[in-house]
Amino acid sequence: MIYLIAYSINEKLYDYSELKEQIKSLGDYQHPMNDVWFISTKYLDEEFETERLRNLLHSERDMIFMTAISRQSVQGWMPKVFWQWLEYVNK
């Protein structure tokens, strides 16, 4: 399964390295845009993981969003390495 995680954070005021490390620990990942991650993993409890990541935010203005995506519904303009990764993890 592929998950998209997007966030809006204020890195000028706070250190979000723990948030980013937790996202990396969820599975194989690509991070093609500043605030967007794609995670490949066999199983992920979206509600639990979103709450766990939310606890690493520092401000009420910080936001995080997670959703499962399917290869059939993906379109966009991304680096070639991203499309290669997506093809690989969808085998």
pLDDT score for 42: 86
pLDDT digits (tens, 9 = 90+) for 79-88: 999 989 988 8
As a whole number of angstroms, the distance between CA 90 and CA 84 comes to 10
Domains and CATH numbers, the chain: 2-89 (3.30.70.240)
Rounded mean pLDDT of the chain?
91
**pLDDT: is 70 or 62 the higher one?**
62
pLDDT digits (tens, 9 = 90+) for 28-56: 999 999 999 999 998 888 889 999 999 99
pLDDT score for 51: 93
CB 12 within 8 A of CB 58: no
* Confidence check: pLDDT of 71 > 80: no
Radius of gyration of the chain (CA): 13
